[in-house]
């Protein structure tokens, strides 16, 4: 409710802020884009699991070696070549050149160039997963008159799969080919099949399933040189010539074996020799006198187009996830090790502060509807064990509750009132009215320990220090699980991150809860910036860029109130993240006369980019690792992701140990890891969507419950007075 200002309250002569125009369209667009981004990301990950890394769930997975020479002599009725052609195709000698395992971006174009040179058509048995990546090569195969056959989706050994998995291997292979080319192959060759005989009855059964239930014709081979073994072009050509001038299907490879293959060079030698021997060249379906393709209806083409596009998208997503893992995992490991090492070294070399340095200090408390807890906060400021002059000032930013009355109820507190204009404008009003050369800027929900002001001010004995950060702790950490995990975050952030940043002169934020500033430094950079929603970070970067040294004093402890519910926490983190994005953009090209300032800014922007953009992407690497484990593809990347998780827990343990916190805090570390990794990703996505739509986030007033001075082991002082009496 509105209140009447007591007569002893100063009123700042500041212009009222301009009324903000409603941004209904921007707000709606932002929300819609956020929902769309989140749903799209979840959908992409889900389909990626099914169509790429989750092949085992859809088409089965079986990694096998190259075919062996030791084979049974069973035949598959209905396959090409048929049983009666084992000794050579009747009639004029013909050759069907076939190529397995492609398309490959390097080998297949070379093969096509040679075939075009000699005006020969061939059959390419291609794998579906390669098609999704090399669609242009597949289209070139069709456009140049060659034939396409199926070679499964992911090159599994068919004998290891179930009947439904065998059928899905070929079906998905067929769908992506239809989707990209409009051609529907109905001929196929199983991976690892080689010539017309199989290694086992199980593989014979799988081929029969594909023929009888999948309406496919199996195409095998009568001649198969081992070009995948790294043979020379001349040796491959020699092994490819049929015995006694017989007709034959020849199997070569354009997508397997050592790189580079010698297949293209081999057929450049082979084709002229076979033509000279009287051979004609046909495709595999012509060799068997069958149809190699089926008619595709318009609806079927449209459906398969979407299947092919989705499969291609998700294969690319898999590759991006792998690349992201290779980038993020090492960065996270280096960051964790660096934090521990730098923080430890900085703690050891920290210089003792000047004990007798006690200049005049003004504690400035910006307040907007802070009636809950502000009196207790002021009590803690007044009871500081500080030898120098100490002024306590509350700047009321147009509160509509009883903030002014609560502040006036505390003796020796100066109250300044101004129209609502935001936290930064309130801080600037207080700085302009401050009586002393050093200012402590503090939130209205914060309680100081008895020596906090003295600890904050001592580093200013060095004239190059422009600002000093204290150690904000979660005062209400025991409230619920959310406050407990925030407590873990604060411990790691202050004990390791801020201390490590100080060690390389790259402190990125003087926390709004507890920080002190040299007034002349504030005047040099124009006071607290009002252009962003992260005024503390913006001011810090401005000071560092101007060449001022920034210090951190872990002994200067302040207890702050953390959000106690998810909605409040969400709004707070959106504002913080959005504000830091604004700061990064604002200072990206800022110039500084000081060389040290330029170096500081570059370091801070790099650290912020890592922490705010790259590290929030770690949940995507988790998805990659989980899916890789599900599909049995555990490798170095999976171990790297696992190691990042272990390093996070180790980092938390080191921070708890250095801070001498109770060991029970470690029980919340795994929950903090799992929760914050995914929560931060959603916050980052939402903040980016706000930035892209140009919508300015609102300053959301958090719900306050209040701390009390007992939280800081302070006795309740006799500082209360009747509202309306003089503060002088």
Which of the residues are catalytic?
100, 253
Contact 574, 686 (CB under 8 A): yes
- The crossing angle, in degrees rounded to 10, of helices 298-349 and 618-630 is 120
Handedness of CA 685, 688, 693, 696 (dihedral sign): positive
Contact 438, 460 (CB under 8 A): yes
Please give the structure tokens belonging to residue 228.
Answer: 């995948």
Please give the structure tokens belonging to residue 387.
Answer: 């030898």
Distance in angstroms (rounded) separating the CA atoms of residues 506 and 335: 14
Contact 543, 519 (CB under 8 A): no
Cis before 260? omega within 30: yes
312-336 CB burial, b ≥16 within 10 A, e <16: bbbbebbeebbebbeebbeebeebb
Contact 647, 496 (CB under 8 A): no
Token pair 């830091």 is at which residue? 580
Distance in angstroms (rounded) separating the CA atoms of residues 102 and 137: 10
Length of the chain: 728
Residue 22 DSSP one-character state = P
Please give the structure tokens belonging to residue 431.
Answer: 């700085």
Contact 513, 442 (CB under 8 A): yes
Please give the structure tokens belonging to residue 186.
Answer: 């109905």
Please give the structure tokens belonging to residue 566.
Answer: 């998810």
Torsion over CA of 165, 169, 174 and 176, rounded to 10 degrees?
110
Distance in angstroms (rounded) separating the CA atoms of residues 686 and 39: 12
Please give the structure tokens belonging to residue 350.
Answer: 């920290």
Torsion over CA of 488, 491, 497 and 501, rounded to 10 degrees?
160
Distance in angstroms (rounded) separating the CA atoms of residues 703 and 568: 7
Distance in angstroms (rounded) separating the CA atoms of residues 498 and 554: 9
Distances (CA, A) of 338 to 333, 541, 651: 8, 22, 10
Contact 288, 109 (CB under 8 A): no
Distance in angstroms (rounded) separating the CA atoms of residues 146 and 691: 50
Collapse the DSSP code of 99 into the 3-class scheme (helix H, G, I; strand E, B; otherwise coil) and give the result.
Answer: strand
Contact 131, 176 (CB under 8 A): yes
Distance in angstroms (rounded) separating the CA atoms of residues 217 and 660: 72
Distance in angstroms (rounded) separating the CA atoms of residues 653 and 659: 10
């Amino acid at each position: 409710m509105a209140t009447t200002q007591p007569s002893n309250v100063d009123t700042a002569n500041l212009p009222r802020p301009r009324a903000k125009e409603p941004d209904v369209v921007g707000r709606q667009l932002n929300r819609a884009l956020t929902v769309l981004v989140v749903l799209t990301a979840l959908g992409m990950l889900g389909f990626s699991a099914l169509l790429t890394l989750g092949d085992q769930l859809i088409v089965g997975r079986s990694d096998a070696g190259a075919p062996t020479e030791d084979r049974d002599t069973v035949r598959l009725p209905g396959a090409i070549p048929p049983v009666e052609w084992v000794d050579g195709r009747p009639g004029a000698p013909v050759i069907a050149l076939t190529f397995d395992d492609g398309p490959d971006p390097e080998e297949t174009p070379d093969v096509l160039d040679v075939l075009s040179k000699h005006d020969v058509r061939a059959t390419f048995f291609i794998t579906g997963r390669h098609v999704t990546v090399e669609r242009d090569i597949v289209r070139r195969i069709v456009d140049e008159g060659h034939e396409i056959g199926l070679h499964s989706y992911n090159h599994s050994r068919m004998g290891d799969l179930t009947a439904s998995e065998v059928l899905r291997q070929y079906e998905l292979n067929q769908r992506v080919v239809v989707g990209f080319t409009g051609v529907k192959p109905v001929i196929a060759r199983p991976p690892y099949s080689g010539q017309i005989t199989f290694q086992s009855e199980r593989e014979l059964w799988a081929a029969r399933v594909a023929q009888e239930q999948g309406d496919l014709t199996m195409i095998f081979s009568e001649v198969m040189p081992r070009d995948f073994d790294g043979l020379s072009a001349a040796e491959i050509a020699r092994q490819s010539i049929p015995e006694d001038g017989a007709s034959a299907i020849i199997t070569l490879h354009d997508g397997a074996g050592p790189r580079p293959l010698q297949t293209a060079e081999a057929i450049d030698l082979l084709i002229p020799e076979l033509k000279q021997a009287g051979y004609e060249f046909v495709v595999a379906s012509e060799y068997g006198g069958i149809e190699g393709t089926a008619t595709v209806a318009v609806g079927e083409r449209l459906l398969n187009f979407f299947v092919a596009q989705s499969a291609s998208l998700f294969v690319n997503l898999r590759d991006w996830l792998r690349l992201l893992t290779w980038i993020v995992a090492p960065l996270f490991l280096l960051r964790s090790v660096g934090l521990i090492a730098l923080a430890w070294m900085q703690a050891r070399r920290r210089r003792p502060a000047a004990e007798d340095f006690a200049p005049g200090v003004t504690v400035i408390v910006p307040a907007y509807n802070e009636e809950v807890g502000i009196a207790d906060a002021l009590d803690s400021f007044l009871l500081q064990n500080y030898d120098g002059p100490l002024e306590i000032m509350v700047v009321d930013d147009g509160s509509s509750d009883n903030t002014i009355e609560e502040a006036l109820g505390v003796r020796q507190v100066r109250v300044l009132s101004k129209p609502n204009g935001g936290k930064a404008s309130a801080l600037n009003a207080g700085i302009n009215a401050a009586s002393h050369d050093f200012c402590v800027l503090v939130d209205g929900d914060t309680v100081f320990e008895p020596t906090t002001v003295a600890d904050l001010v001592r580093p200013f004995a060095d004239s190059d220090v422009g600002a000093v950060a204290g150690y904000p702790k979660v005062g209400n950490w025991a409230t619920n699980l959310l406050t407990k995990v925030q407590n873990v975050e604060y411990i790691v952030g202050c004990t390791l991150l801020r201390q490590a940043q100080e060690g390389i002169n790259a402190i990125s934020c003087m926390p709004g809860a507890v920080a002190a500033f040299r007034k002349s430094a504030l005047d040099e950079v124009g006071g607290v910036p009002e252009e962003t929603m992260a005024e503390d970070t913006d001011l810090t970067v401005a000071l560092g860029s101007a060449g001022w040294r920034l210090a951190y004093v872990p002994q200067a402890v302040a207890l702050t109130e953390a959000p106690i519910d998810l909605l409040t926490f969400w709004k707070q983190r959106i504002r913080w993240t959005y504000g830091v994005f604004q700061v990064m953009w604002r200072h990206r090209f800022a110039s500084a006369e000081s060389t040290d300032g330029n170096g500081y800014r570059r370091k801070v922007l790099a650290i912020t980019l890592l922490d705010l953009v790259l590290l929030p992407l770690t949940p995507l690497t988790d998805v990659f690792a989980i899916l890789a484990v599900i599909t049995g593809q555990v490798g170095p990347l999976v171990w790297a992701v696992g190691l990042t998780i272990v390093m996070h827990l180790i980092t938390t343990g080191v921070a708890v140990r250095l801070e001498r916190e109770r060991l029970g805090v470690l029980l919340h570390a795994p929950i903090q890891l799992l929760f914050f990794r995914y929560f931060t990703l959603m916050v980052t996505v939402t903040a980016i969507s706000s930035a892209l739509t140009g919508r300015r986030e609102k300053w959301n007033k958090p719900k306050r419950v209040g701390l009390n001075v007992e939280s800081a082991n302070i006795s309740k002082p006799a500082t209360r007075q009747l509202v309306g009496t003089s503060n002088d």
